Structure 1
């Protein structure tokens, strides 16, 4: 055989053996993978209740979900489609039921910006009626997302003839044998010169009836009424507005409000020995609540009377002028709750000696500025400002310098933010000392909150709210019990019902080792069984999708020789927020599309929308490369090359040598 043939066969054998030995070493090889990226299309569907309250509700509940799914499926070959639903919150689009109680575009835009804003070649398809009732105006937010937003107009855009209740305000607490104020907002579209009938009922009893003359095609009226509070307990009132003419829908003609009727008003005494602007601010907030009577007592001029007093506000008492230890002993013996406001005139040493569950740093008399810092885990009551961080935007107040230590029975409503640093120093806290409630405000200067809020928001709603809810919580006596259940008296339909429970042993120490059962009964007598979830120290329970009505419940421990049982009730009232406006808003969606170089579709025309997106000249996929490391033995092309070499050597040897 020729030398060159021998050299070829030897070379093939050497190459095969070399490559096999190379693979036995197990080297890692870097290689690049070419990836073809489809353009991303975010389909965001409005899932709020307003879409099922109109005359075309049957279409949106039955046919529309399948039409939308068909459109999405038709675009998936050309787009990487991401589906979302939004209303009160943003979630993955799984089932369209149009049960969200609010419409919030700002949360949608923020979610999209956070999760998809850094990607290239992204666009959004937004299907909505254009109505919003929560969050900021979507017209001014959409341009910040950095992507085209194409909008589909849903809902009824034609002019409608309709009567509705657009607002309803009342006190949460009322008192027997007094007048209960309620403010009702009524809207009538295209009912000029017609008459409306307003009726207010408690259960089946008619409490008020009034006829209203409509003046104008777009009629708005807010009117105050006074009702007789006759029955004690949790009362549900129904407001109904009707006409003798055909309306677009009757689903927004009635609304409920709930009031807890108590035996008598609460008397609040504000005691001081030096007047301060904070006292005027607190007094003005109390005056906004007809459920409270107040009395200002200058301790330099008169003594406190504890008769029929439900709460004492001690403003910088004890002071550096006098320790008032005898006064504190009398308050303790009378078991009257107290709210103590600490300021520059307070005697911290005396406060520490009174064993009120709080110990302050009294080594110096320095004070510092501290900004309100919301404690999101506070659970004793809810503030209107909690989700808006209103107080964190207001000026600081003057607080004692140094540590403030609370005993374990205290809950902190707000912490101190000092020079931009979040701290665990309490600013406002609540607790219990010797079977009576105690509240603390560690700082003076609340009057600045009142003035600043009015400058920023043209109202004192949130300042009045925090003062009145603080007073309401402290002034209402709570029986010390081994099993305590806390919840709001009423919930809006569609909202989650949240219930908290605390369980104490015989030594009144907080425990949560036992199971807590919860049995709920509706007005028809049907029962539902739940079980509380354990937290670090207490329990909580969240119930969703309860219908409008009155509910009774029973909570029972499991595992004790003699189980503890507690019962109560709450009311789920009709939610009127989504029914305030039912005529679809075209301007909002047009401006969203216009400001982001998107397209506005006048209706859900599946064929037209599909054609638009498939013919979009900007939908070219992007190419990216991904670097990876892998074992050489896992590379199929290298193994195939070795096999080919072996087959080639075998073939040539057979061909040339004949064996």
Structure 2
């Protein structure tokens, strides 16, 4: 309590005493013991009121106990069931969460993981992917500043995501792996990896790379074959031993017909081999007869050029070539789309030819753009010329409907550098990204598309998208989201097809272990996105002739459905609006492959290393008696007593108000009873 507050309290006490004495001692004509009682009551009342006016603050300390967290992460993938460890894993989980000592010592939080890490709701062991790294990534975000050891119940076999040892190295918590499996090593021959492009071109040959692995001590011989249906397209004998456990086989196959072609790679199994599922793998290639060629025209060098080229060429159906203006003019008829990067005076002839030939364009402007030239060479938009620059961050227009945009967190993206001033569009346009300045969203376009005179155009008013590609990788540890966005923009601009009222976004084939998502958009007669449509997809399995109809659900500016889990095979589908006779059809193939059934043992070595590096301890599922004792007796996981200090103002102390009310009431009652009122 401060010194001046103490002085005020002393003055209040003296004042209250003087007023009480003046009322009942000095002013009173008769003196009795009753006056002393009334003086005391009046003193308490006045002093209490004055104290409330001063409102001093008192420091209070409270104590509470904080228990450590115990995170139980249970592998819910199919590989656990395939290794016949599912019941043991569930029994251990039930044992941990029902243990009274564990519950008293820890705050127990339970999760399951497969492709995603989530709070436990059911244990089914039917997840078709295992992303073990997501466990440690999520844990470090949620339990960053707490004591939270992990009981990691898994076989250690990962099929998806980054290496979990790398993710766990960033985690400053002890990890206790419970290994679902044993140390017995069985002889096994398998197709470890298959590398092949998704697309091939008609009349060309496409490469296939096969990596075959062997676990065992004896020398063995086998044969690797590639089948198309029942026909053998390629075969080669292979030999393995304890010292030679891997071999890479490469070949090329012809692409003779357009469409999706399915193939199967098999390595002849060993006698009495325990797991023969991993002896074969299916793959497919889509054969196309034309490649989309994109010209990126620039007068100088810039990091954006490389980012654009890489994003465009992640799809093997497209190629991108960086050219100077003069080089492009000599090859202008070789490309389906031209990207004009920061046009200046050297682009004068190009802009004239584009207008004459009615070519599709994607214009990217920046600090060196000649806006006088751009403003006079076309009649689509005009930029206010201020000779000043500004940094603009993107904000996604969720109502953009020309093509489907998803999976991009534009708000986290760095700003682009551009000319300060507004772009005024003379023709109808759709804005993909709006400009944001200092967190304020404007109605100005950062990226827009428009169609005029059977031409398609896009305008990106800013340079620096190489930073966007880098940010996409930081957000998701992959360039895929950004590359897919650029790919869809390029696909739209390079196509001269007329716009349909219903569009579908899907792949021609899916591997058995990937998500199968199909998206669609529906437009009204004015080609505005219709969020009230009732879209239904009808699937027909061409192998067994089964048919099923499912609704598509609205998500932002598209309708989508997740078909993961349907049986492998060839499918035809039709998406239609149940309220109008409008539909679109397509087909896709799902290749048979279950990555969770490729394992023969738990990854014992990796899990033991994980425990050692995190100062934890590993346990086999058949020997977990010591796990509970280890957790309860580890001094690092002791309950901690913490205290909090707070300043409580006296006005919040309700007992003082009660005391004032009580003394005033007693004083009035005594005076009334004795006839002093």
Q: What's the TM-score, normalizing by structure 2? A: 0.68
1:590-611 C-alpha deviation (Å, 9 max, x unpaired): 3433344433213343544345
Match 1:600 to one of 615, 618, 640: 618
Q: Distance in 1 between matches of 2:469 and 2:561?
A: 36
Q: Distance in 1 between matches of 2:589 and 2:451?
A: 29
Which has the larger displacement, 312-321 or 80-89?
312-321
Shift of 1:259: 2.9
Give the 3-state SS of the residue equivalent to 2:276 in structure 1: coil
1:235 corresponding residue in structure 2: 261
Residues 398 and 557, structure 2, Cα contact 8 Å, conserved in 1: no
Match runs of 1:495-534 below 5 Å:
495-522=514-541, 523-534=543-554
1:372-412 C-alpha deviation (Å, 9 max, x unpaired): 999999995899xx7999x979xx98644455678653545
Q: Distance in 2 between matches of 1:615 and 1:451?
A: 46
CA spacing shift, 1:113–1:321, aligned 2, 3 Å: closer
Residues 150 and 599, structure 1, Cα contact 8 Å, conserved in 2: yes
Residues 189 and 217, structure 1, Cα contact 8 Å, conserved in 2: no
1:449-507 C-alpha deviation (Å, 9 max, x unpaired): 999999xxxx9999998877765564455442111111233334354322221112222
CA spacing shift, 1:245–1:590, aligned 2, 3 Å: same
Match 2:122 to one of 90, 95, 108: 95
1:622-643 C-alpha deviation (Å, 9 max, x unpaired): 779999xxxxxxxxxxxxxxxx
1:188 corresponding residue in structure 2: 214
CA spacing shift, 1:67–1:294, aligned 2, 3 Å: closer
Q: Distance in 2 between matches of 1:376 and 1:253?
A: 46
2:70 corresponding residue in structure 1: 41
2:362 corresponding residue in structure 1: 339
Q: Distance in 2 between matches of 1:194 and 1:258?
A: 30
* Unaligned runs of at least 5 residues, structure 2: 1-60, 647-677
Shift of 1:526: 2.0
| Correspondence 1:176 to 2:194 | no
Q: Distance in 1 between matches of 2:405 and 2:281?
A: 23
2:93 corresponding residue in structure 1: 68
CA spacing shift, 1:461–1:353, aligned 2, 3 Å: same
Residues 71 and 606, structure 1, Cα contact 8 Å, conserved in 2: no
Q: Distance in 2 between matches of 1:580 and 1:51?
A: 12
Which has the larger displacement, 199-208 or 417-426?
417-426
Q: Distance in 1 between matches of 2:278 and 2:75?
A: 20
Give the 3-state SS of the residue equivalent to 1:589 in structure 2: helix
Q: Distance in 1 between matches of 2:376 and 2:226?
A: 54
CA spacing shift, 1:481–1:41, aligned 2, 3 Å: same
Q: Distance in 2 between matches of 1:186 and 1:67?
A: 36
| Correspondence 1:589 to 2:607 | yes
Shift of 1:584: 2.6
Shift of 1:570: 2.2
CA spacing shift, 1:609–1:98, aligned 2, 3 Å: same
2:649 corresponding residue in structure 1: none
Residues 286 and 508, structure 2, Cα contact 8 Å, conserved in 1: yes
| Correspondence 1:569 to 2:569 | no
Q: How many residues get paired?
A: 574
CA spacing shift, 1:196–1:291, aligned 2, 3 Å: farther
2:288 corresponding residue in structure 1: 262
1:124 corresponding residue in structure 2: 150
CA spacing shift, 1:484–1:327, aligned 2, 3 Å: same
| Correspondence 1:219 to 2:263 | no
Shift of 1:308: 6.6
Give the 3-state SS of the residue equivalent to 1:329 in structure 2: helix
CA spacing shift, 1:606–1:143, aligned 2, 3 Å: same
Shift of 1:532: 1.6
Residues 85 and 180, structure 2, Cα contact 8 Å, conserved in 1: no
2:174 corresponding residue in structure 1: 148
Q: Distance in 2 between matches of 1:448 and 1:515?
A: 39
Residues 454 and 496, structure 2, Cα contact 8 Å, conserved in 1: no
CA spacing shift, 1:451–1:41, aligned 2, 3 Å: closer
Residues 48 and 98, structure 1, Cα contact 8 Å, conserved in 2: yes
CA RMSD of aligned residues (A): 5.0
1:409 corresponding residue in structure 2: 430
1:548 corresponding residue in structure 2: 568
CA spacing shift, 1:99–1:338, aligned 2, 3 Å: farther
1:283-330 C-alpha deviation (Å, 9 max, x unpaired): 788889875577777654785666574333434447466265532323
Match 1:481 to one of 500, 507, 510: 500
Shift of 1:248: 4.2
Residues 371 and 385, structure 2, Cα contact 8 Å, conserved in 1: no
Shift of 1:566: 1.6
Match 2:385 to one of 363, 369, 379: 363
Residues 151 and 590, structure 1, Cα contact 8 Å, conserved in 2: yes
Match runs of 1:148-167 below 5 Å:
148-167=174-193
CA spacing shift, 1:411–1:100, aligned 2, 3 Å: farther
Q: Distance in 1 between matches of 2:344 and 2:603?
A: 59
CA spacing shift, 1:514–1:421, aligned 2, 3 Å: closer
Give the 3-state SS of the residue equivalent to 2:149 in structure 1: strand
Residues 165 and 580, structure 1, Cα contact 8 Å, conserved in 2: no
Q: Distance in 2 between matches of 1:437 and 1:224?
A: 42
CA spacing shift, 1:541–1:339, aligned 2, 3 Å: same
1:12 corresponding residue in structure 2: none
Shift of 1:518: 1.4
Q: Distance in 2 between matches of 1:540 and 1:315?
A: 35
Residues 323 and 350, structure 1, Cα contact 8 Å, conserved in 2: no
1:190-229 C-alpha deviation (Å, 9 max, x unpaired): 3775334333334444433333344664533444432222
Q: Going by fraction, where is helix more abundant, 1 or 2? A: 2
Match 1:81 to one of 84, 97, 108: 108
Shift of 1:153: 1.4
CA spacing shift, 1:90–1:190, aligned 2, 3 Å: same
Shift of 1:557: 0.7
Residues 296 and 305, structure 2, Cα contact 8 Å, conserved in 1: no
* Unaligned runs of at least 5 residues, structure 1: 1-31, 628-659
Match 1:108 to one of 121, 135, 141: 135
Shift of 1:556: 1.3
Give the 3-state SS of the residue equivalent to 1:322 in structure 2: helix
CA spacing shift, 1:63–1:141, aligned 2, 3 Å: closer
CA spacing shift, 1:164–1:176, aligned 2, 3 Å: same
Q: Distance in 2 between matches of 1:462 and 1:224?
A: 31
| Correspondence 1:609 to 2:608 | no
Give the 3-state SS of the residue equivalent to 1:234 in structure 2: strand
Residues 179 and 229, structure 1, Cα contact 8 Å, conserved in 2: yes
2:578 corresponding residue in structure 1: 558
Shift of 1:182: 3.1
CA spacing shift, 1:325–1:546, aligned 2, 3 Å: same
